[in-house]
């Protein structure tokens, strides 16, 4: 933290999810292995380091896949909209795609090889406030609510079928 008077408290570890619209998958097919993404229109988020390199975990090792597509953007909102319109496959933070996953307008892909975690959500507060019972209760509420969020339950059900 640049301002050393601030205190950081980790709320939860988030993941990035690969997903596409049912319309895109009906037109182009569903990739079942990460390397198949090379034949698909992928929509990279340019504000991420190495936006065109997506990581997956196969056989205990991390695999990097170079992706490409017709559009890239530095806004996850723009990429979600493009994915909803059927333009391609996105890999975005779970909070960015949560509503679309719950509604079924985006479908998760390659869940069994997703790299989990790696994107912590932090709360920043002035020093001393972290001991306040109200602040602690709020942070606990956020962690519990996001941990059992509806999109996570839906993903778990889809992975088990």
Q: What is the mean pLDDT of each run of 10 residues along the chain (161 residues)?
A: 75 88 97 95 91 89 92 94 97 90 93 80 75 82 76 62 54
Task: Evaluate whether 40 touches 109 at the Cβ level (below 8 Å).
Answer: no
Is 54 in contact with 65 (CB distance < 8 Å)?
yes
What is the pTM for the complete model shown? 0.80
Are the beta carbons of 103 and 123 closer than 8 angstroms?
A: no
Q: How many CB atoms lie within 10 A of CB 84?
A: 18
Distance of CA 125 to the CA centre of its chain: 25
């Amino acid at each position: 933290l640049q301002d050393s008077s601030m205190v950081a408290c980790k709320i939860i570890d988030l993941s990035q999810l690969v997903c596409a619209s049912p319309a895109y998958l009906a037109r182009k097919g569903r990739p079942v292995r990460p390397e198949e993404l090379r034949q698909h229109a992928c929509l990279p988020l340019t504000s991420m380091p190495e936006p065109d390199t997506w990581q997956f975990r196969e056989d205990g090792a991390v695999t990097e896949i170079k992706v490409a597509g017709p559009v890239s953007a530095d806004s996850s909102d723009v990429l979600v909209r493009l994915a909803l319109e059927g333009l391609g496959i996105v890999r975005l933070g779970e909070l960015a795609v949560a509503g679309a996953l719950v509604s079924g307008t985006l479908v998760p892909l390659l869940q069994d090889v997703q790299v989990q975690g790696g994107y912590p959500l932090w709360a920043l507060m002035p020093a001393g406030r972290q001991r306040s019972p109200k602040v602690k209760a709020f942070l606990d509420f956020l962690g519990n609510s996001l941990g059992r969020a509806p999109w996570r339950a839906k993903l778990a059900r889809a992975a088990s079928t």
